[in-house]
Amino acid sequence: MTDLTLMKTLHIPAKTKIVQLVMDGVGGAPRALDGKTELEAARTPNLDALAAHSQLGLAVPVRPGITPGSGPAHLALFGYDPLTYVIGRGVLEALGIGFELQPQDVAARGNFCTVDEQGRITDRRAGRIATEVNQKLVALLRDIKLPGIQTFVETVKDYRLVLVLRPTAGQTLHANILDTDPQQLGVPPLPARAQDEASEATAAVVNQWIAAAREILKGHPPANSLNLRGLARDPGLPKFSEVYGLKAAAIATYPMYRGVARLVGMDVLTVAGEEIEDEVETLRAQWEAYDYFFFHVKKTDSAGEDGNFEGKSKVIEHVDRAVIPAILALNPDVFIVTGDHSTPSALKSHSWHPVPTLFWSKYCLPDGVGEYGERACARGSLGVFPATDEMPLAMGHSLRLSKYGA
């Protein structure tokens, strides 16, 4: 697999520019009507024309057969083997809302939930309460004090929050602790259970905070309880500048993806709105300032998760129209169109299917397959390849690597 050491050793300066366009969950599955996937059914004249001058392939985010979460899937696209580099969900959430996480912090994702009088969970998302309600509850939770530990409670959106514990008295916190969310209804939350001896003291502190929080929330149905998930510390990933020598920028509107990008050292750019056109505007405005752009489109995945085949095709058509010509007009040296994973609307969830990927550069040898789609990519010269290869290939094709050995 990809060796980051090789990248660290060989990268050289260049003036070339790389764009990695990630349509979240772009890969799909065939519908009964005509056996086409969402991507194959979409009308994408710009992507098809670009495909004719590109190499195609199917990217495997983690390993064959494995369905990745968003964190691992993006790490792979960035060249970090997700089995080697592991990020806890709590850390992703904290970074995603722009929280300045410190190396000693322990972060957890929190979900407000509804419990009945016996303390059994009746709604794991507390009826998806409005973000404004969340903010009011979070303000109350900030009053909870723990001895020797600073706590931060932050609203994410809807029913989701982040809890960060920061040691103040020289102590060390450990985060090998199980989720309290039992992932089912009709049972009470679980205690925060340490998975190793080092984490036991921290688990005790976490349980203390949870007890205080539930006491406060009792009077505020439907959000009359909460769960913590993905307790974790900053994994201290190597940074893009160090690994690739790239000045890297992330253009993404959804907190999670902004978070992963920050973790690998990208500048996370301000996007004026939530629309794809706003992201394109940011790309244009910042084009001269960076070597590499991670450009993330969320709505392909959302439509897939909703089981909306037509909707997903429409998002892809929107990207084809609004993003592809705009990026080509900027004249990048390497342009990759890919996804972090597949999200077939037939499954309404992420899946293990390898991800249709288009790789264009001035120095690529085009396959001559004039279509961007799952089956078209299966005929491409990149073959079925680890997603972690995308960045090393981009580095080669952008003339940013020196020769290995004499």
Binding-site ranges for its own copies (CB under 8 A): 2-3, 6, 10, 29-30, 35, 37, 58, 62-72, 82-83, 86-87, 89, 92, 230, 344, 346-347, 349-353, 363, 365-368, 374-375, 378-385, 389, 391-397, 401-406
* Bond into 222 cis (ω within 30): yes
Q: How far is the CB of 239 from its own copies (least distance, A)?
A: 19
Query: CA–CA separation, 175 vs 194, rounded Å?
Result: 8
Query: What sections of 3-69 are H helices per DSSP?
Result: 4-10, 38-41, 45-52
- From residue 99, how far is each of 93, 105, 159, 253, 349 by CA, in Å? 9, 11, 18, 16, 28
- Taking the least distance from each CB to its own copies, the nearer of 114 and 342 is 342
Query: CA–CA separation, 149 vs 140, rounded Å?
Result: 18
- Taking the least distance from each CB to its own copies, the nearer of 109 and 174 is 109
Q: How far is the CB of 120 from its own copies (least distance, A)?
A: 24
- Taking the least distance from each CB to its own copies, the nearer of 64 and 170 is 64
Copy the structure tokens of residue 97.
């809302």
Q: How far is the CB of 402 from its own copies (least distance, A)?
A: 8
Q: How far is the CB of 71 from its own copies (least distance, A)?
A: 5
Pairing of strands 121-123, 149-157: unpaired
Q: How far is the CB of 145 from its own copies (least distance, A)?
A: 29
**CB count, 10 Å around CB of 242?**
15
Q: How far is the CB of 278 from its own copies (least distance, A)?
A: 26
Pairing of strands 383-386, 55-60: parallel
- Taking the least distance from each CB to its own copies, the nearer of 264 and 393 is 393
Q: Could you tell me how far CA 105 lies from the centroid of its own chain?
A: 21
Q: Could you tell me how far CA 267 lies from the centroid of its own chain?
A: 15
Which residues are within 8 A (CB) of 79 and not within 5 positions of it... i.e. 6 or more apart?
Answer: 2, 4, 7, 243, 244, 388, 390, 391, 392
- From residue 293, how far is each of 183, 304, 321 by CA, in Å? 36, 25, 19
Show the CA angle centred on residue 238, arms to residues 233 and 240, nearest 5°. 125
Question: What HEC string does 150-184 produce?
Answer: EEEEEEEECCEEEEEEEECCCCCCCCCECCCCCCC
- Taking the least distance from each CB to its own copies, the nearer of 229 and 299 is 229
- Taking the least distance from each CB to its own copies, the nearer of 140 and 378 is 378
Q: How far is the CB of 2 from its own copies (least distance, A)?
A: 7
- Taking the least distance from each CB to its own copies, the nearer of 229 and 271 is 229
Residue 188 carries which DSSP code?
P
Q: How far is the CB of 68 from its own copies (least distance, A)?
A: 5
